[in-house]
Each structure stands twice: as C-alpha cells, then as structure tokens.
C-alpha cells in the first residue's frame, strides 16, 4: 500500500482521485499540486457565469484548499507548478509561483491530471488586447472585467464547438451582437452535418451571424475596434474575440519524463490508467483513451470520464483491480431553446471504418400530442447490419432530449441492439412521454429495416432520375415539396395504383416517415418495388441545407459585422 501519493492537477480528475484515496485510506499522505488559483471549480459552468445565469462567481468554486483539507485531510498547494519528474528517484521538482522558490517532494505513487489547454492558432495579431480563451475562473474574470469596462457591442467567436456555441449564447444574453466563424461547413463538427443544420437555423433565429467554411487570416487593431480578416477576404469588425478552436492535451511534463505518448497526442495509458511507468498514473483530458464502440485510440475531453478515471485510479492504487474500458463521448449542450445531445459514433466516424452500418431518422414528439406542450425531437440512430448493435445516436430538440440520449448511452454500454429497444419498458404518463416512447419507436423503425419489412433509402443516396412519391396531403405538397416528386396522398393510394410505374423503384416520403412506411407496405403487397425515404421531408430539408438561408435578417446580421474589403 502506497503511503505517499502526489497528484499533479486538480479540477475533475485530480480532486476526485484525492477524495476517493482518502475515503479508502485514512493513513496515506496525499498532496495535490495545482498551478492555477483553484483546485476544484465548475469548468462547464464558466460560460453561464459570463452570461449571468450563474450569478455568483463563488458558486463556481466547488472546493477551496481549506475546505478540502478539513474534509479529506489532503494538503492542497495552489499556484505550485510541477516542473520536473524524476521517475528513477520518484521525486518531483515544484515551483512555488507566488515566491519563485523551487523545492522537491518524493512520492510512492504519482497521478498526472494536467488537463488540456485551449489552442491558440499562430494567427497574426492573436495576442492583441480583447482576444480571449476560456478555460479557467481567471479567464472568466478577465472576460467579465473587459465587458464591464469596455462595454463591447459586437463579439466574434472563433470556433463553433461546445464552448463556442455556449459563449455565443451567453454573450448574446449580455446584449451583444454575436458572430461565429467556423472552419468546417457546419456548426458543432462532432455531429453529422444534417443534424447540425437544426442548430444553425436556431442560431440564425437568435440573431447570431454565421461564417461557415471560413477561417481567420489575421487580427488587427483599428482605433478602438478589432478587425478580423477572414480567408474569404471578408473583413469583420468587433470589440472582443473569444477563441474556441478546441483544446490540446497538456503532455509537456509527460514528454519530459519520457512517458509514452499515444498516436493522438495524449498520454498513453493501459486499462488500469497506468502510464509507461507503472508507478505513474494519468487521467482526464490529457490522456488517450479507447473508443468504447470502435476500439481505436481517441481524445475525448469530457468531465464525466475524468471523474470516473479519478475514482478508478484511487481504487487501483489502494490495491483494487479496476479497468477502464473506454469512452463513448456522451455529451449534451444547450443552444438557446434547443437541447443537442449525442453518444457513441457519428456517421462521419463510421464512414472511415469497415463496419457495415445502417441509420434511421425519426422526428417524434417528446410526449403524446394530445397533452399540451408537445415539442418535436429529431433523432438519428446508427446501428450495425445485420445484427442491429447500437453504434451511436444524435438528438436535437427541446424537452426530453437528455432523457432519451441517456437511454441510448446505456444501451450502447450494455451492448444492446435495436431489437432490444423495442422491448424497453420506460416510464409513461402524458406529460412525459408516450406508450410507445421515442426510444421504442427508434427500435421499431430500425428493426423493420433489418427484418426486411421495408426497404430504406436516404436522401443523400438518391439520384437525379429516381422516381419520388410524396404521400402527404395535397395541401402539404402545395406548401413545399421535393422537386419532380409525384403527389398521391397515402389515404388515396389504394385507388390510384394505376398511376404508378412497376418497371422502376419507387421512393416514398411523407413528413417524418410514418405515412410513407404505410405506403411502402401497401405498394409492396401490390407488386411494386418501393423504398421508404428515412425521416421524410424534415430530413430532406436538413440534407438540403448545404448553405445557410439567405434571408433578409441573415444578410443584415452579417452586414453589421462587415467592413469594406479595402480596410
């Protein structure tokens, strides 16, 4: 049993490990070093403090060195940076950032929890005043102080990932005009593009200006403004910039110690979270983990896995035999009125593997339609063929999204199939769901495909000459429809079969895929070759949104930020 355990880094992983170690061993000497000002703070809450939703800064501080000492008898040294590890001597060199003094400490076991740092691309002018990253409470203080003193009217966010979208919303709450620049052709690049289209429409609805498929070329100062030059030649003006271009694992200390670094750039660890030195463990955002579904190495900087890893390492140091079997990337984010969630593999990821998979789209309400307040969700489910093992899910909606993504996350972890989803017995009352819950419905739709009750096709698989049948009502068809599609409402279909060809495959769609499934069953049993277009017209709109809607409002939002190209 190790008697002296040193921990490098606090927050989610390090603080969790320290607390668990003390609960397991009252006699061990435990010291935690944190180069920042705080050992345990709500990292995920930082944007919401800037937006004023979390009013008190103190609410972000989960523990102080004093409170941690009182409760867990763990010595915490903030503003103390570990500068060197000597694994042969099992000793650390530490710099006290307050005094500049260097000193050493010996260890029996060492836990590395250095986290990840925001990336700062080598863009000319990136160090100008008014350009920020967000990773710590100190960063939050800087941003809040700048807003109070400078009263910026326009803010530019570089990057449309989790932090970028959260900052866009919260700076909008502070009354600023907000623009987002993202190098990918969509927001939230971890999602599949057609699902991200629902988020983009929400951002435009909330008066967020978007530049997608574009990157920053330089930053310049012009009087009291920042000028942001884009590679598309656009010149944007604002008073502040937040860089949200991702994070990189903090591995410099590990590299200096000659610990093995994985192919993704994170610290390589085994199933017990040991590094290449068995007396040194590593956890959190700095490590390379195994993708739970695919088995390949990956980086997934999320608080949930870091907390679990901290607990597991403590168990192993205290004589346990816990194994970390991978991360599946379950995440949820609020984007104004939307909830966006995902778990497991995306189709982008699966397309780069040899896995044979299928997908379905459905758009159910969060609860029964007859109960007031039902709101639509957009669900994408990915699964293997022909086994039906669940690989991933993505949901965009409002109420009920978090509940369903957690069910899918558990299903993936348990190795369930789409056939199992049909049988899940989920809580039901009219305010909360349906007798056939959205999760059950996803299982029904996917199982119908695998059991060959219906052939399915997706909008991005159709060709220009394919025969497309719209089975919605004439009124729906007249409002909007797929070009060159033929309209025969499903309730008239049996009496109008002679209007359809039998020498080509028919591709049927409705609003969300339910009526077209019924149409497919009718046509199949009458000798037609027919495929159901998954997700219906709503999914068609998502696939077709290759460019942002060029509305008058969208143009005005962009014009508010644009300067003449000659400046």
Q: Which residues are catalytic?
A: 44
Write the CB contacts of 331 (distance below 8 Å, at least 6 apart in sequence).
Answer: 162, 190, 302, 341, 342, 343
Q: What is the C-alpha to C-alpha distance for residues 524 and 496, in angstroms, rounded to an integer?
A: 14
Q: What is the C-alpha to C-alpha distance for residues 201 and 208, in angstroms, rounded to an integer?
A: 10
Alpha carbon distances (Å) from 303 to 11, 16, 86, 290: 9, 11, 29, 16
Write the CB contacts of 280 (distance below 8 Å, at least 6 apart in sequence).
Answer: 85, 87, 109, 110, 111, 112, 257, 259, 274
Structure tokens at 219: 């930053």
Q: Are 355 and 305 in contact (CB under 8 A)?
A: no
Q: What is the DSSP letter of 336?
A: T
Task: Give, to the nearest 10 degrees, the angle between helix 11-24 and helix 65-72.
Answer: 20
| Dihedral angle, C-alpha 416, 419, 422, 426, nearest 10 ° | -10
Q: Are 253 and 85 in contact (CB under 8 A)?
A: yes
Structure tokens at 345: 């593999």
Q: What is the C-alpha to C-alpha distance for residues 455 and 533, in angstroms, rounded to an integer?
A: 9
Q: What is the C-alpha to C-alpha distance for residues 321 and 419, in angstroms, rounded to an integer?
A: 34
- Which among 8, 66, 13, 67 is positioned nearest to 32, based on CA atoms? 8
Rg (C-alpha) for the chain, rounded Å, is: 27
Strand, coil or helix: what is 553? helix
Q: Are 237 and 564 in contact (CB under 8 A)?
A: no
Q: Are 76 and 65 in contact (CB under 8 A)?
A: yes
- Which among 245, 334, 232 is positioned nearest to 558, based on CA atoms? 232
Q: What is the C-alpha to C-alpha distance for residues 534 and 347, in angstroms, rounded to an integer?
A: 15
**Cβ neighbours, 10 Å, residue 191:** 24
Task: Give, to the nearest 10 degrees, the angle between helix 193-205 and helix 552-561.
Answer: 80
The DSSP secondary structure of 52-90, one letter per residue, reads TSS--GGGGEEE-HHHHHHHH--EEEETEEEEEEETTTT
- Which among 400, 337, 376, 393 is positioned nearest to 511, based on CA atoms? 376
Q: What is the C-alpha to C-alpha distance for residues 38 and 141, in angstroms, rounded to an integer?
A: 13
- Which among 80, 84, 93, 58 is positioned nearest to 14, based on CA atoms? 80
Residue 394, strand partner residues: 342, 380
Q: What is the C-alpha to C-alpha distance for residues 299 and 208, in angstroms, rounded to an integer?
A: 30
């Amino acid at each position: 049993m190790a008697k002296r355990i040193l921990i490098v880094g606090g927050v989610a992983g390090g603080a969790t490990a320290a607390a668990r170690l003390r609960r397991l061993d009252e006699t061990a000497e435990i010291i935690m070093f944190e180069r920042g000002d705080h050992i345990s703070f709500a990292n995920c809450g930082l944007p919401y403090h800037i937006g004023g939703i979390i009013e008190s800064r103190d609410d972000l501080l989960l523990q102080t060195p004093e409170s941690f000492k009182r409760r867990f008898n763990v010595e915490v040294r903030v503003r103390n940076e570990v500068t060197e590890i000597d694994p042969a001597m099992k000793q650390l060199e530490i710099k006290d950032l307050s005094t500049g003094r260097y000193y050493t400490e010996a260890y029996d076991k060492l836990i590395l929890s250095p986290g990840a740092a925001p990336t700062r691309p080598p863009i000319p002018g990136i160090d100008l005043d008014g350009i920020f990253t967000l990773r710590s409470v100190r960063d939050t203080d800087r941003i809040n102080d700048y807003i109070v003193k400078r009263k910026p009217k326009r803010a530019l966010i570089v990057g449309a990932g989790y932090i970028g979208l959260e900052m866009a919303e919260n700076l909008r709450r502070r009354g600023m005009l907000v623009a987002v620049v993202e190098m990918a052709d969509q927001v939230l690049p971890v999602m599949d593009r057609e699902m991200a289209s629902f988020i983009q429409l929400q951002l435009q609805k909330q008066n967020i200006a978007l530049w997608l498929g574009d990157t920053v070329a330089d930053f310049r100062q012009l009087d009291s403004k920042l000028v942001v030059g884009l590679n598309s030649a656009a010149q944007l003006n604002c008073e502040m910039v937040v860089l949200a271009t991702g994070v990189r694992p903090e591995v410099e200390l590990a590299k200096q110690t000659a610990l093995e670094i994985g192919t993704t750039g994170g610290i390589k660890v085994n199933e017990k979270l040991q590094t290449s030195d068995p007396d040194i463990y590593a956890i959190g955002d700095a490590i390379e983990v195994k993708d739970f579904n695919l088995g390949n190495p990956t980086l997934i900087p999320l608080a949930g896995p870091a907390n679990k890893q901290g607990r597991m390492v403590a168990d192993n140091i205290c004589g346990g035999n816990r194994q970390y079997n991978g991360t599946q990337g379950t995440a949820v984010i609020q984007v104004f009125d939307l909830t966006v969630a995902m778990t497991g593999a995306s189709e982008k990821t699966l397309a780069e593997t040899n896995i044979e998979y299928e997908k379905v789209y459905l758009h159910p309400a969060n609860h029964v339609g007859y109960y007031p307040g039902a709101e639509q969700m957009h669900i994408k489910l990915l699964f293997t063929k022909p086994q039906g093992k669940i690989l991933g899910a993505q949901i965009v909606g409002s109420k009920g999204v978090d509940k369903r993504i957690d069910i899918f996350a558990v299903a993936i972890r348990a190795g369930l199939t789409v056939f199992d989803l049909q049988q899940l017995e989920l809580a039901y009352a009219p305010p909360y769901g349906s007798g056939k819950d959205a999760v059950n419905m996803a299982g029904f739709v996917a199982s119908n495909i695998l059991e060959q009750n219906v052939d399915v096709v997706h909008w991005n698989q159709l060709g220009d000459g394919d025969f497309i049948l719209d089975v919605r009502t004439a009124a729906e068809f007249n409002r909007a429809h797929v070009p060159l599609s033929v309209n025969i409402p499903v309730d008239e279909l049996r009496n109008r079969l002679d209007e359809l060809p039998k020498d080509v495959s028919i591709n049927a769609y409705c609003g969300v895929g339910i009526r077209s499934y019924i149409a497919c069953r009718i046509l199949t049993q009458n000798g037609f070759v027919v495929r159901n277009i998954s997700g219906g017209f709503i999914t068609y709109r998502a696939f077709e949104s290759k460019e942002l809607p060029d509305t008058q409002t969208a143009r005005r939002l962009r014009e508010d930020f644009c300067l003449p190209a000659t400046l």
